[in-house]
Amino acid sequence: MTELASQQRIATMLDQRAHDLLLGHSFAHQQIGFIHTLDIDYGKPMKQRTLLEVEVAAQQKRQQNSTAHHKYRAQASKQLHKVIETAIFKQLEDMDGVIQNTIGIEDNVATMLDILAVKSVSVGRLEPLINDSSWLGRELVSLVNLPYYRKQRSKTTSVKVDSPALALRYIGLDNLQLVIPTFAVRHWMPHSTEPFPLLKRRLRDAAMANAIAAQKIAELNDVNPIHAFTLGMLIDVGRIALVRLYLKTFEQVWQRKVQIAREAQQKNLHTALMELKPDPLFLTTLLSNKSLELSAKVIRKMAFQYLPFDHVMAQLVHGVHQSSDVFPMSEVMLKARCYSQYLNLKHHQLIEEDEVEAWFSYHQFTKNELKTLETSNFTNLAIQID
């Protein structure tokens, strides 16, 4: 295997590991074969009393029953997820429905992102659009009234802002180019991600880290940093849609199957179904295989006039190795995704130094890029409100 092929294999493996980590630390450990200390055989079996013959027979029967039940439950899960997969793919055929109903993207948000990309942007052009999005107006007012930003304004005034129009003017256009994409993506996040309680927060943090990394890398490579930040945020919209679709579809299909089993008095099937929960392995596979392609479709449907994202997303979906000329923005996005995933894996101690070296070499990070990223803040927007 060539060095490049080895690096590509490691990059693919780490990308999957990062997807696994979204669904839980213990799940990511399981997927890489992590062995818990208590499971290690140290060669010194614990002393046990000798089981009576009747106890041995009872234990064997329990094990047989347990094994049979686990097999039955696994089969029930397999059949359930076949129906769920078919239902999800059917819903994905209706992109308008995915955008409007599943994610909840409003037309005026796409228009705002587009307007913010042009030099002739003004607060006056944004104000009526924000007034049509009451949730965004509330978010902007809340932002400028945070104690941290009220303190920044205290040199001139510390009056509490109570209207979106005034908040817009305090925040300023330069800041709005970062704030509005961030608030939009947060607004689209699923309200609940049970039984994966940390998934929503990890999706949000991943989007933020990805967007900031894209902005920093773009600044060093003569690529529009605002475009890079915006696409860095939007590139995960496919993940958001798939998480929403899977959790909602699982609940709908599961409830229907439970009702049918109950009415048909299929006790074993009903018991097995009652023990089933959303499957992290199904979801991580779905995210890994379909999220980027879905993001590209959603972004294309948003029909931007001034944000040149469609060709970049097509290149990312089909693989940059398939293109003779790689767009600079595509390279920025690949590096940003790599670095944001690295940060999460490193935080959870799920990546080794040799893996990091191979991953960064594969994406051809420069020393200047890595030095800049190492000193960057990936949790908060670097904005000043006067």
What confidence tens digit (pLDDT) does each residue in 25-50 have? 999 988 887 544 333 343 444 344 44
For 167, residues 6+ apart whose C-beta sits below 8 A from its C-beta are 137, 140, 141, 143, 144, 161
Answer left, alpha or beta for residue 308, where phi above 0 means left and psi between -120 and 50 means alpha.
Answer: beta
Residue 65 pLDDT > 60, yes or no?
no
Count Cβ atoms within 10 A of the Cβ of residue 166 and give its class: 0-12 exposed, 13-18 middle, 19 or more buried. middle
176, 182 contact by CB (below 8 A):
no
Q: Please state, in angstroms and rounded to a whole number, the distance separating the CA atoms of residues 363 and 331.
A: 8
State pLDDT tens for residues 136-173: 999 999 999 888 776 665 555 567 888 999 999 999 99
**DSSP-assigned letters across all residues of 145-203:** TSHHHHHHHTTT--PPP--HHHHHHHH-HHHHHHHHHHHHHHHHS-S--TT-TTHHHHH
**DSSP-assigned letters across all residues of 234-261:** HTTHHHHHHHHHHHHHHHHHHHHHHHHH
**DSSP-assigned letters across all residues of 331-371:** HHHHHHHHHHHHHHHHHTT---HHHHHHHHHHTT--HHHHH
State pLDDT tens for residues 241-287: 999 999 999 999 999 999 999 999 999 999 999 999 999 999 999 99
